[in-house]
Amino acid sequence: MRSLLLLSTLALAPAAMAQVNFHDIYSGCTNYTSRGTVGANAGENLIARPGSHFAGICQDATGGGTNLVSFRTVTQDQNGSTPETYYLVVRKDSAGTPDITVGGLLLRAGPATTPPSTVLTPVAWIITDTLTTPSTVLPLCGTTYQGMEYQAAAWTSDGQSNHICTYYLLGTTQADNPSPPPDVVPIVAWDYNYTTGLTSQPSARSQRFEIGGTSSVLTIGNVDPFAAAANCVSLQGFRSWGAGGLWPSSNADGLGSRDDGIDARVEDLGNANGLFAVFLSDAFGCPGLPLGSLASGALYLNPGVLIQVGVGLLDATGTGIATVIPPGVVLGANLLGRVIPMQGISFNGSLANGHLSNMAGTSFL
């Protein structure tokens, strides 16, 4: 693991891909770059998108399939003058771990290389890699793993890594804010070491691995007004869009000290300057229910229990944020550990061009 370097180069996707919306599990803060447990070996860094909390990511307009268009990541090279070769990968789940069999590899796109540079010291880029032909292999339901395959490296003097956000204080910084110990928060980061042939998990973190499609994106964030200054979420409205949104903290059982709030963010470039709404339900199902001409995509919430919990305007970037639960609200103990599913819908300024988002869930601990 290495200290974070300032981004120095931006690699842009073609203008034709301007309507792509990216899904990630990223708090909004970064505090380190890392190759995880892969170290100097060739291997993969992956992020899990748990099927318990997500469905319909990159769904197509019919709601019956997916349309994976591009990948975006923040990657770093310890010696920018030596280009690194990498691949983008998507894997199935196998009993709670990445499926490393031949049949478990859903997609391996590449090879690609880091941008040319004459810098002899660490340099980082935001890179968008767009598929020549959109892929339909991403499942609508269940857990998947997405990330990057690295070549072997003279780590840490040279080699490629990816920016991460740690759940808890590491050294003097923290970049995510899920429920603190003694609550046990799942780690979404995974590694596949080609030398050992084994998968493992690094310390609690998520990575800047984003996946892009044409459907709108719903992300849940927790709000902790007492986040420590060592955690940069204190500088972004005390809000974390990463693991904090998936596993916020509640003192409903009297064992903690936090009662986090919940915000919902809808992103839809295709309906920039339009409107959005967010709904909550008691359950979700997958596959979803396509709505035909009413809106693109499928409904994953229980149609019998749809509660509107947020509404607002999308800005010029297609982003809108609504408060679902204000911080300080004490929940019923019966909600602890239960996935609360939500889904968004977005429209243009004329209340047309309806786009259903993915389902995103949150579980108070």
Banded pLDDT at 316 (limits 50, 70, 90): very high
d(CA 25, CA 39): 23
Residue 345 in this model has a pLDDT that exceeds 90: yes
16 Rama sector, left if φ>0, alpha if ψ -120 to 50, beta otherwise:
alpha
C-alpha gyration radius of the chain: 20
pLDDT tens string 254-297: 888 899 999 999 999 999 999 999 999 999 999 999 999 899 99
Of 30, 23, 34, 26, nearest to 59 by C-alpha is 23
8 Å CB contact between 201 and 167? no
Please give the structure tokens belonging to residue 127: 């890179």
Instruction: Give the pLDDT score at 1.
Output: 54
Average pLDDT over residues 224-243: 96
Residue 136 in this model has a pLDDT that exceeds 60: yes
Banded pLDDT at 320 (limits 50, 70, 90): very high
Instruction: Give the pLDDT score at 201.
Output: 98
Instruction: Give the pLDDT score at 256.
Output: 84
Instruction: Give the pLDDT score at 2.
Output: 52
- Domain positions in the chain: 2-363
pLDDT tens string 84-130: 999 999 999 999 999 999 999 999 999 999 999 999 999 999 999 99
Instruction: Give the pLDDT score at 255.
Output: 84
pLDDT tens string 324-344: 999 999 999 999 999 999 999
Residue 57 in this model has a pLDDT that exceeds 70: yes
d(CA 245, CA 53): 10
Instruction: Give the pLDDT score at 289.
Output: 97
Buried b (16+ CB within 10 A) or exposed e, 179-190: bbeebebbbbbb
Residues 6 or more apart from 313 whose CB is under 8 A from it? Answer: 273, 274, 275, 276, 320
What single string gives the DSSP state of each residue in 318-342? SEEEEEEE-TTPPPPGGGTT-EEEE
Average of per-residue pLDDT values in the chain: 93
Q: Which residue intervals of 178-304 are DSSP H helices? A: 243-246
